[in-house]
């Protein structure tokens, strides 16, 4: 796993490491499909 913490280019996006989390959405954006505070809290909990 020596490459796990090395940068990787994905299209135009440069990631500082190769650890990512897929969007585990639970349809909390509402009818506008714009992320709201509840979604921010949801992903913040998973990031900690």
Give dist(CA 13, CA 35) in Å, integer. 21
pLDDT of residue 31: 79
**% of residues, the chain, pLDDT over 90:** 31
For 20-38, write each residue's pLDDT tens digit: 888 776 666 777 878 888 8
Q: How far apart are CA 31 and CA 38, in angstroms?
A: 14
Cα separation, 34 vs 12, in Å, equals 23
Q: Which of 15, 11, 42 is nearest to 3 (CA)?
A: 15
């Amino acid at each position: 796993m020596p490459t796990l913490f090395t940068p990787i280019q994905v299209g135009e996006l440069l990631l500082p490491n190769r650890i990512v989390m897929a969007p585990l959405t639970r349809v909390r954006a509402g009818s506008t499909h714009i992320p709201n505070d509840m979604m921010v809290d949801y992903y913040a909990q998973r990031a900690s």
